[in-house]
Amino acid sequence: MRASLESLQDMCLKAGHTLTLQRRAVLEVLAEARDHPDIETIYARATRIMPGIGKATVYRCVNRLVELGGLQQHNFHDGESPRYEVVPVEHHDHLVNMQTGEIIEFCEPAIERLQVEVAQRYGFRLVDHRLVLYVTPLQNAPDTQ
């Protein structure tokens, strides 16, 4: 479950932003994405809804959403451009299938609890975290680089 298109629009309006056609297009793309797209992909999809939209506009819109806290930036792959995901209502972490690039969401409460514990052990309060598991399918017996 992720934030709806309406809640993203609300967020923009509350921040005093105008709901232009291009902004609507980007928000729609983001709200419907199930695959953690990068800017290039978001741009391509937004172009289908709003032909002629500029890439700079997409960058600006995405960055604003991130600042507003409605969008999360991920760095799943070193050296590649960041991926984006509308902040989910219920938290989850990610599993990256290195064979296909597919990204799977999961949540393991036991891990979440342990993270809080570790932070406390060092005298801190856990504010946020990133956990990404890089995996390969079990049936294949791929390399062990």
Q: By C-beta, is 50 or 71 nearer to DNA?
A: 50
Task: Give me 85's structure tokens.
Answer: 């995901």
Give me the amino acid identity at 42: I
Report the distance separating Cα 26 and Cα 46, nearest Å: 6
CB of 85 to a copy of itself, least distance (A): 13
What phi and psi values does residue 97 have, to the nearest 5 degrees? -75, 105
Tell me which residues touch a copy of itself (CB under 8 A).
Answer: 69, 73, 75, 78-79, 82, 95, 97-98, 104, 106, 108, 110-111, 114-115, 118-120, 122-138, 141-142, 144-145
Binding to DNA in span 1-60, by CB under 7 A: 12, 16-23, 38-40, 50, 52-57, 59-60
Question: Which of these, 82, 80, 77, lies nearest to 96 by C-alpha position?
Answer: 77
Binding to DNA in span 56-115, by CB under 7 A: 56-57, 59-61, 63, 79, 81-82
Q: By C-beta, is 9 or 136 nearer to DNA?
A: 9
CB 26 within 8 A of CB 11: no
